[in-house]
Each structure stands twice: as C-alpha cells, then as structure tokens.
C-alpha cells in the first residue's frame, strides 16, 4: 500500500534540517569581537544587531540553536525510549503496572521546572546535568499514552490468542506492540522536542544549565536582561523569536504527522475491509 506524505510535512522537516546543518557548520566559528560595533541596533549588516562586544547576534543565536537542537534530539530520543520501556513494563503484569503508575504520579507531583532545577542542581549543572534532568522528566506524558495503548492491546483478542500459542511477552512486544505503537511513539517523540528545548532555555536562563561561555539562547536572553533598561531590545527580541519559530515548527510537524498517520490508518483499514 502506498503511504502518503504531504508537502506540509516535508517543509518543516527540511527547514529544521537546514537550520541545524548550518548551525553545526557555524558553531565552530569564533565570533569576531568588534568594539566599534558595540550594541548596534539591527541593520542590514547585522540583521539581529550586535551585543556588548560587538558580536553579531544572528550568528550567536544560530550557534545557540545547534546546542538547543542537539539537546532536543537527545532528550526526545532517550525520553521516548524510557516512555516505551515504562509502558512495556507496565503491560507485563498488574504489579509492575502499579509501580509504573506510581512513578508517573511521582514525577507529576512536583512542578516540572522544580524537578528540573533540583536534578540539574544536584548533578552540578552543565550540559550533563541539564541533559539528564531533561531526559528523566520528559517521558511521563508519552508513557501515559503508551501505557493505555498497551493495556488495550493486552486485552485484545489477537494478543490473547498469541498468548495461548505460548508466545512469550518479549515476542509479543516485538511483533505486536511495536508495530501498533509506532505512530504514537513518533508523534510523542516529536512533541517532546519543543518542550525539551523550551525547558533547556528556561533552566539555562535561570543560571542552572549551560555555562555562560557556551552559545545558548537561554544565556543570550539572561544576558540581555542587563541591557533592557538601556533599550537594547534586539538582544532579547530576535533570539526569543528564533526559539519560538523552532518550537512552533515542531508543534506543526507533530500535528502534520498526526494527520498523516490518521489518514494512512484510515486508508489501511479501508483496504482490509
């Protein structure tokens, strides 16, 4: 059967890819410090203006993006794996299910940002602390969705039949659960992305995450706070806008994938009938 992938999905994916590749390329580039060009407002030479050292804000922002995207990818990947594992474990038996539910409840019992701060704090901050914090706090909502799906699959007739044929749980997970769950997994992973990126920026902004010598949008924004009263609005405005467009693109991508999956699903069931 032919799967259907619309242009509306290809465009955001390409956009992110191009942004990311360019970001990786320019990341290594040492930014020229030009004290004659200190704190200049946006112009044609410096689209996003310059900062207190005369560095170009567009390049700085773009460099920050590469860190954000990398962190987003790793977080989305690892959190999705955790979520899947949790759901599969919960599906094994009632006792495990209770434990998984408790774990989810536990993680939801603290404000997400507080959990993040606590974990990055105890791990001593930095990329490592931030990353671990992000990974262990972003799996809950997807795990909840997958848990319910696994529960329903477990109760379905064909799984029951599989059981009766003596297939073990791992076999069933591999051959039945994964093929059924993969749309949810993909959508879930995509939607973890914007959350993770926003949280990364927030934690860094608060001073817990990435260190000040790293290019990061959170750093740029917290730096900009000192210059707000001087009226240097571009220091905050453009980097944030850039970040917003990235998260929006991911939200949009998630929505489109959802539609494609739904549509292919309908198409599939149409064929089967």
Partner 1 sequence: MQILSFLLKKLTYLVILLFVVALITFLLVSLSPIDPIRAYIGADMLQVSPEQKEQIEIYWGLKESKPEQFISWITSLLKADFGTSLIYRAPVSEVIADKFFASLLLMGIAWILSLVGGIVLGSIAGMRQNGLLDRIIQLYSYVLVSTPGFWFGLLLLMIFAVGLGIFPIGLASPIGMLEGNVSFLDRLYHVILPALTLSILGTANIALHTREKLIEILKSPFILQAKAQGLKGFSLYKRHAFRHTILPAISLHFASFGELFGGAILAEQVFSYPGLGQAVVDAGLGGDVPLLLGIVIISAGFVFVGNFLADVLYKIIDPRFRKGLMKL
> How far is 85 from 93, CA to CA, in rounded Å?
14
Asked whether position 122 contacts partner 1 by CB under 8 A, the answer is yes
What is the residue-wise DSSP string for 43-90?
-SSSTT-B-TT--BHHHHHHHHHHHHHHHHHHHHHHHHHHHHHHHHHH
Least Å distance between CB 38 and partner 1?
Answer: 19
As a residue count, the chain comes to 273
Region of 4-12, 53-61, 88-96, 114-122 interacting with partner 1 (CB under 8 A)? 114-122
Q: Please name which of 207, 203, 223 lies closest in space to residue 55, comparing C-alpha atoms.
A: 223
Asked whether position 113 contacts partner 1 by CB under 8 A, the answer is yes
Total interface residues for partner 1 by CB under 8 A: 41
Least Å distance between CB 243 and partner 1?
Answer: 6
Contact 151, 98 (CB under 8 A): no
Q: Please name which of 89, 213, 190, 194 lies closest in space to residue 146, comparing C-alpha atoms.
A: 89
Nearer to partner 1, 102 or 182 (CB): 102
Asked whether position 99 contacts partner 1 by CB under 8 A, the answer is no
Among 161, 248, 263, 265, binds partner 1 (CB under 8 A): 248
Asked whether position 74 contacts partner 1 by CB under 8 A, the answer is no
Among 173, 190, 192, 243, binds partner 1 (CB under 8 A): 243
CA distances from 252 to 9, 11, 16, 190, 236 (A): 8, 10, 12, 10, 24
Backbone angles phi, psi at 205, to 5 degrees: -55, -40
Nearer to partner 1, 19 or 172 (CB): 19
Nearer to partner 1, 73 or 136 (CB): 136
Backbone angles phi, psi at 56, to 5 degrees: -75, 125
Asked whether position 202 contacts partner 1 by CB under 8 A, the answer is yes
CA distances from 107 to 1, 89, 114, 201 (A): 41, 17, 11, 21
Asked whether position 118 contacts partner 1 by CB under 8 A, the answer is yes
Least Å distance between CB 169 and partner 1?
Answer: 28
Asked whether position 52 contacts partner 1 by CB under 8 A, the answer is no
Asked whether position 137 contacts partner 1 by CB under 8 A, the answer is no
> How far is 210 from 67, CA to CA, in rounded Å?
10
Asked whether position 68 contacts partner 1 by CB under 8 A, the answer is no
CA distances from 133 to 16, 111, 124, 196 (A): 24, 13, 11, 10
Asked whether position 221 contacts partner 1 by CB under 8 A, the answer is yes
Asked whether position 201 contacts partner 1 by CB under 8 A, the answer is yes
Nearer to partner 1, 122 or 156 (CB): 122
> How far is 232 from 41, CA to CA, in rounded Å?
7
Among 27, 237, 258, 261, binds partner 1 (CB under 8 A): 237
Instruction: Give the binding site for partner 1 (CB under 8 A).
Output: 105-106, 108-114, 117-119, 121-124, 194, 198, 201-202, 205-208, 221, 224-225, 228-229, 231, 233, 236-237, 239-240, 243-244, 247-248, 250-251
């Amino acid at each position: 059967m032919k799967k259907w992938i619309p242009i509306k999905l290809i465009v955001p994916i390409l956009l992110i890819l191009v942004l990311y590749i360019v970001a990786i390329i320019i990341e290594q580039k040492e930014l020229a410090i030009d004290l004659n060009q200190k704190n200049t407002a946006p112009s044609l030479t410096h689209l996003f203006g310059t900062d207190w050292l005369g560095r170009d804000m567009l390049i700085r922002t773009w460099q920050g993006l590469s860190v954000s995207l990398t962190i987003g990818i790793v977080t989305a990947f690892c959190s999705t794996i955790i979520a899947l594992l949790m759901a599969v474990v919960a599906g094994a038996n009632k006792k495990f299910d209770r434990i998984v539910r408790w774990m989810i409840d536990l993680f939801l019992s603290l404000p997400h940002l507080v959990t993040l701060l606590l974990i990055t704090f105890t791990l001593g901050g930095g990329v490592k602390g931030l990353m671990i914090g992000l990974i262990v706090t972003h799996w809950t909502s997807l795990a909840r969705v997958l848990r319910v799906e696994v529960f329903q699959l477990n109760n379905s007739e064909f799984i029951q039949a599989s059981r009766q044929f003596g297939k073990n749980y791992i076999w069933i997970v591999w051959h039945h659960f994964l093929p059924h769950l993969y749309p949810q997994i993909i959508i879930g992973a995509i939607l973890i992305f914007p959350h993770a990126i926003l949280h990364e920026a927030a934690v860094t902004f608060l001073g817990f995450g990435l260190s000040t010598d790293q290019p990061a949008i959170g750093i740029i924004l917290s730096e900009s706070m000192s210059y707000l009263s001087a009226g240097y609005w571009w220091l905050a405005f453009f980097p944030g806008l850039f970040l917003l467009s990235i998260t929006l693109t991911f939200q949009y991508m998630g929505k489109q994938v959802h539609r494609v999956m739904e549509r292919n699903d309908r198409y599939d069931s149409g064929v089967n009938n």
